[in-house]
A = this chain, B = another copy of it.
Amino acid sequence: MIEYRNLRVALLGAGSVGAQVVKLLLQHGDELAQRSGAGLELVGVAVRDLDAPRTADIPKHLLTTNAEELILGADIVVELIGGLEPARSYILQALNSGADVITANKALLATHGPELFEAAEQVGAQLYYEAAVAAAIPIIRPLRDSLAGDRIQRIMGIVNGTTNFILDRMDTAGESLEHALATATELGYAEADPTADIEGYDAAQKAAILASLAFHTTVPIDKVYREGITAVTLDQVEAAKKAGYVVKLLAIAERVTDPATGVEGVSARVYPALIARTHPLATVHGGKNAVFIEAEAAGDLMFYGAGAGGVETASAVLGDLVSAARRHVIGGPGVAESNNANLPILPIDRVITRYQITLSVVDQPGVLAAVATLFSEHDVSIETVQQSVAPLAPAERAGDTELGATLVIGTHQAAEADLSATVLALAASAVVHSVTSVLRVEGNE
């Protein structure tokens, strides 16, 4: 029987993830010790309410309401309470005392990441956060280590299970956004207040973390462009389906050359976009997550799995725990978070993308020519046009014009600024009744 040195592990928070971490840690302690080269002794679990119900049993003597005291003397602190405060203060206390910290707190990392990484580097401690993006899917470590010798060009992630579930229901079951959201709430895929998910805030935090890591550049959350899914209609989803696309909420981190200045920079953005049904991301159904990476040498990679869930997220936390323990056994500093590339972060209007625009137009000769002229005046090249004649909606009937036409126009790649200027010009045009739908198209042609 090998005698292992014991490492003292303090856990902050015993919610759905924390309770599972405790369960697995107590259940598989011997196995984890063998793999780590050190015993992982859970010295306590800090909670707000000692008597709150838990999803897994936690021995009473481990529970405490005094987080600060628990952090004192811990070798490794696992922060699973979420939110900005007191999580930030606890983590800083732990790092300053020399403890390694493991967190799943994406909001905190996207907001105060640089401060935390700086604190860790000052004392030679490590901050691990595999669970902060896409839960159980290993993505932080592959980006930081496996692809360290490569150059990432673009990351497109389905990193929010709630919105993917909703969009998937709209696509596969023909439910409206409201209906699909109700289904998601009923089945536990959406929280009582779904704002953070459906407005894209959660995905934006993950985009900030992925972009920072992939491009070795600090990308603060307020530089992430964000649109949620609340404006996505069933009509859009069904039209996309007919055209061979599916609508997905994508978190995108991209190396972009500013079309105005030629300077290389980073774009981080979140919006619902069309991707081809043949794209690997189109096969990601329900509440699943996936991160698609385009790298210069490695080519296209995809990482797929559960993006939420207590036990799934606990798997990522325990992986980090073994890494932290191994580092304690080995000694020496770990890998510091690198922001040495320090690229400029470009606003959304410098992004190069494609649009699919649906227009309700008057049905008369010369309309297509007029519309096409507006595109070319803004340096946007049209790739496809589909025209269909259909009765106008009552609101759009003007005088005796009872018939209108629908134009679906797909563009080639163009600068976002030119594309949005084109849409404004279309909306103001006399031949256009209304701009029915504007969606970006992502994924290589």
Interface residues of chain A, those whose CB is within 8 Å of chain B, are 20, 24, 28, 31-32, 34-36, 130, 136-138, 141-142, 145-151, 216, 280, 283, 295-306, 309, 311-312, 314-323, 326, 330-335, 338, 340-341
Contact = CB atoms under 8 A, between A and B. Distances in A.
Nearest to A336: B37
A319 B145 contact: yes
A136 B305 contact: no
A12 to B, nearest CB: 18
Contacts of A136: 295, 297-299, 301
B322 A20 contact: no
Contacts of A335: 326
A151 B28 contact: yes
A30 to B, nearest CB: 10
A149 B301 contact: no
Which of A31, A142, A317 has the most CB atoms of chain B within a 10 A radius of its CB? Answer: A142
Given A31-B151, A304-B302, A335-B326, A297 B283 contact: no
A443 to B, nearest CB: 14
Contact of A305 (B20, B145, B148, B298): B298
Contacts of A137: 298, 301
A35 B149 CA distance: 8
Given A142-B142, A338-B35, A315 B297 contact: yes
A32 B341 CA distance: 11
Contacts of A34: 216, 338, 340-341
A149 B298 contact: no
19 contacts: A24-B149, A24-B297, A35-B148, A35-B149, A35-B338, A35-B340, A136-B295, A137-B301, A138-B301, A145-B145, A146-B319, A149-B321, A150-B318, A298-B305, A299-B306, A300-B305, A301-B303, A303-B303, A304-B304
A298 B137 CA distance: 8
User: Which among A35, A142, A150, A335 has the highest number of chain B CB atoms within 10 Å?
Assistant: A150
Contacts of A322: 145, 148-149
A150 B315 contact: yes
Contact of A147 (B31, B138, B148, B338): B138
Contacts of A141: 141-142, 145-146
Nearest first, the 6 closest Cβ-Cβ pairs linking A and B are A149-B318, A138-B146, A136-B298, A297-B315, A298-B315, A148-B322
Contacts of A323: 145, 148
B147 A319 contact: yes
A371 B28 CA distance: 46
Contact of A330 (B280, B300, B306, B334): B334
B149 A32 contact: yes
Contacts of A317: 149
Nearest to A338: B35
Contact of A306 (B280, B298, B306): B298
A180 B11 CA distance: 56
A445 to B, nearest CB: 18
A315 B147 contact: yes
